[in-house]
Amino acid sequence: MKFLDEYRDGAAVRPLLETLRHRTTRPWTLMEVCGGQTHSILRFGIDQLLPPAIRLIHGPGCPVCVTPVACIDKALAIAERPGVIFCSFGDMLRVPGSRSDLLKVKSRGGDVRIVYSALDAVQLALREPGREVVFFAVGFETTAPANALAAHEARRLGLANFSMLVSQVRVPPALELLLASGAARVDAFLAAGHVCAVMGTAEYLPIAAQHHVPIVVTGFEPVDLLRGILECVVQLEEGRAEVTNAYERLVPPGGNPTAQALLAEVFQVVDRTWRGLGLIPRSGLALTAAYAHLDAERRFGVSDLGGTDSPHCRSGEVLQGTLDPQNCPAYGTRCTPEHPLGATMVSAEGACAAHYRYRRPRED
């Protein structure tokens, strides 16, 4: 398959690994900030092929995983109400709140439905004018344009029975927090190609300059990832800290101006709480005044709901890169994909789920 098979070709991987072995003279720690990259790294064994001096750690790259418990509890409270159709992507259904999850609400008779896009929920609202249709708008900058388009369309159609529970987050402020906290040693970042395809790379420039940390945009296949890792190592070995793009076939320098314009119309930048990381200034998106009538928190009066993580779940440390999933005492015992304690074991992009799928052990 074009643009896929050639980026998994061993003949293309080997010279990149050989160059890495020659260029690496010191220990370096790199953090990927994308759950898709995490799964590819473990699936293809990329971390095991690298020179021993290069260490890869996982960051808060899973949008489902960083959605706070309080937001899940708001979703549960709305989904339990009569007359509501609650729409979500599939991963969110099993993410635990403080008392339950959306799948259990569905099993008790709540009308919880899996959709493949926010526009599916808009169409559902058109077909069900007597029901309140709520879409759970979760994700990084990658999903935000599609969710903004749904809000724009609902407003254009004058839909009075459609609203969105918004938990959109922005990646750059999370990187700043990680670097400022010093919780995990991070020498360089692998930035998510799909985020930068929307937003471009400009937001990373001041972060790289202030913290003297290379930030390299890359994709999700072995060749893409190794190109990104090599660029990080070359910069580190030469004492440089630049923002570079190793995913040129998809990411233009300025991102997608059309998507950015739609985001600016529908969303405004706000402070937002991340699971495991706490409140991060200017790290979230919320509906603007023109779209406030679509805000499900206001419509259903759930803004004041809160919640706490399981005391046995250490996903916050996993998301900060300070704990390897297999070093968590609950991993593979009290916490499995069938019975997760936290979101990182649920989501298809979660680091714990990736380790469980591709590196199973720890059942001691």
The full set of domain ranges for the chain reads 65-170+255-277+285-300
Q: Which residues pair with 31 in a beta bridge?
A: 57, 189
Query: What band does 3 get if pLDDT is binned at 50, 70 and 90?
Result: low
What's the average model confidence in pLDDT over 16-23? 97
* Phi/psi of residue 305, nearest 5 degrees: -70, 145
Distance CA 248, CA 246 (A): 6
pLDDT value, residue 360: 76
pLDDT value, residue 348: 78
pLDDT > 70 fraction of the chain, expressed in percent and rounded: 98
pLDDT tens for each residue of 246-293: 999 899 989 999 999 999 999 999 999 998 899 999 999 999 999 999
**Is residue 2 scored above 70 in pLDDT?**
no
Q: Which residues pair with 270 in a beta bridge?
A: 284
What's the average model confidence in pLDDT over 350-364? 85
Query: What mean pLDDT, rounded, does the chain reach?
Result: 94
pLDDT value, residue 362: 61
Assign 84 to helix, strand or coil.
strand
pLDDT > 90 fraction of the chain, expressed in percent and rounded: 84
Q: Candidates 3.40.50.800, 3.40.50.11740, 3.40.50.11540, 3.40.50.720; correct CATH number of 65-170+255-277+285-300? A: 3.40.50.11740
pLDDT value, residue 19: 97
pLDDT value, residue 122: 98
**Is residue 37 scored above 80 in pLDDT?**
yes
Q: What is the Rg, in whole angstroms, of the alpha carbon atoms belonging to the chain?
A: 21
Phi-psi region of 182 (alpha: psi -120 to 50; beta: other; left: phi over 0): left
Query: And the tokens for 13?
Result: 């991987």
